[in-house]
Amino acid sequence: MQFEEKDIAYPPVHPGTDRTFIRFYGGEPDLNSIFYSSEEENSPQRIFVTDTNVASLKQMQPFVNFFRGENYSQPKIENGFIGTRGKDVLLILGSGEPFKTIESVLAICKAAIDSNAKRSAVFTGIGGGVITDMTAFAASIFKRGATCELVPTTLLSMVDAAIGGKTGCDFDSYKNMIGSFFPAQKIHIIPSFIQSLPENEYRSGMAEVVKTALLYSKELFEKLASKPEILQNRKDPLVEEMIKICVNAKAAVVEQDLTEKNIRMQLNLGHTFGHALETRAGLGKVSHGDAVAWGIARAAELSKKIGLCTENYVQTVKSALSSFGWETQPMHSALNGKFASEKEAALSLFEAMKKDKKNASNKVRFVLQEDVGETVITEVDEKDVLSVL
């Protein structure tokens, strides 16, 4: 497959993690051509990891069937499948957040150990953020650090999860509680993978796209705001363009601040409000993307409340979010009926934010904006936060 390549560099967190090559591919996914077109004698052993949904995609069959051998005619692909192709291994895990466990990470390590993998093996995650986070984590702990490559297949993993070296899994009902910083050596981005995504997964990724545009590309934000119908038309050329812009923007941020000591925190725009909503609505009741989009609207109102931005900025942001169908009012509908009053709901959301940020005082730190592209990180008093909920 033809590709364009760019690379980003950082101080290494581990030998071999000082550079990431990001490749953008046009056309249909063809993993055989990416990984097997040059039969180099000394090509490294690969431990491929994917999930049952991705392994079942039509465009994946020419690749997966090599590992299924004679079983390829059996339609169902089970969680736990392990197949080989020469020295390479394919492990298929269950799909979605419930499988983002330490057991799945250990299953990846075991598949590598059982195939006598050396530290030179390349752990290659093909999937959404769940698979890319766990494969990279397994790579970071296997024999104290193997190599990682990623093929993100959801919009969210292309523009966000796969870029920037945050790896991990959930533990004991806490999200991403265990993990490491371990940037991939190569990231293979094939935008056409998004054509098969379910509607809700595509919307979820779009919220991160709109967030990235607000932070780093006024031009992209204006294009998206004037074209909400791209939610229905993924073949629009703007879709591929927006993926590239968002990948490049996130790459530029993590290149400067891989371990989130300063500017990488900007990427949390909308997330403090959003996480609180996800927690208080009950995990899984509001999608992460819908929660972030609502959080962006609340962050805009809060920016105005503390005198950072104009009413015009707030209206521009809210009208773009509503045109994509996201809720922008103070109280999200997912909280209806959960609290005795709106005041109680607001207090509960604020408590969740304080807990999320482990903040003992009555202030919480927020990512806010003076305007599109002009971002500020600041602590805000409880009364101001409550006034926008």
Ligand X SMILES: NC(=O)c1ccc[n+]([C@@H]2O[C@H](COP(=O)([O-])OP(=O)(O)OC[C@H]3O[C@@H](n4cnc5c(N)ncnc54)[C@H](O)[C@@H]3O)[C@@H](O)[C@H]2O)c1
Residue 149 interacts with ligand X (CB under 6 A): yes or no: no
CB of 172 to ligand X, least distance (A): 15
Q: What x/- string results for residues 186 through 225 when contact with ligand X is judged by CB under 6 A?
A: -------x--xx---x--x---------------------
Residue 228 interacts with ligand X (CB under 6 A): yes or no: no
Q: What are the residues facing 186 on neighbouring strands?
A: 21, 149
Paired sense of beta strands 186-189 and 19-25, if any: parallel
Residue 53 interacts with ligand X (CB under 6 A): yes or no: yes
CB of 196 to ligand X, least distance (A): 4
Cβ pair 277, 286 in contact under 8 A: yes
Q: How many CB atoms lie within 10 A of CB 279?
A: 19
Q: Judged by CB under 6 A, which of 17, 95, 124, 316 binds ligand X?
A: 95
Cβ pair 158, 132 in contact under 8 A: no
CB of 381 to ligand X, least distance (A): 29
Of 156 and 385, CB closest to ligand X: 156
CB of 259 to ligand X, least distance (A): 12
CB of 353 to ligand X, least distance (A): 18
Paired sense of beta strands 3-9 and 19-25, if any: antiparallel
Of 31 and 346, CB closest to ligand X: 31
CB of 171 to ligand X, least distance (A): 12
358 CA to centre of own chain? 23
Q: Judged by CB under 6 A, which of 46, 68, 100, 304 binds ligand X?
A: 100
Secondary structure string (H, E, C) spanning 210-268:
HHHHHHHCHHHHHHHHCCHHHHCCCCCHHHHHHHHHHHHHHHHHHHHCCCCCCHHHHHH
Q: What x/- string results for residues 151 through 190 when contact with ligand X is judged by CB under 6 A?
A: --xx-xx--xx--x-x---------x--------------
CB of 190 to ligand X, least distance (A): 9
Question: What residues between 117 and 146 interact with ligand X by CB under 6 A?
Answer: 127-131, 133
Residue 108 interacts with ligand X (CB under 6 A): yes or no: no
Residue 147 interacts with ligand X (CB under 6 A): yes or no: no
Mention every residue, 6+ apart, whose C-beta is less than 8 A from residue 177.
168, 169, 170, 171
Q: For 373-382, which contacts have Cβ atoms below 8 Å and span 24 or more sequence positions?
A: 373/214, 373/215, 373/216, 373/217, 373/218, 375/215, 375/266, 375/269, 376/303, 376/308, 377/265, 377/266, 378/306, 380/302, 380/306, 382/350
In the complex, residue closest to ligand X by CB:
129
Three-class secondary structure of residue 19 per DSSP: strand
Q: Which residue has the tokens 């089970």?
A: 78
Q: Residues in contact with ligand X, total (CB under 6 A)? A: 28
* Residue numbers at the binding site for ligand X (CB under 6 A): 51, 53-54, 57, 95-97, 100, 127-131, 133, 153-154, 156-157, 160-161, 164, 166, 176, 193, 196-197, 201, 204
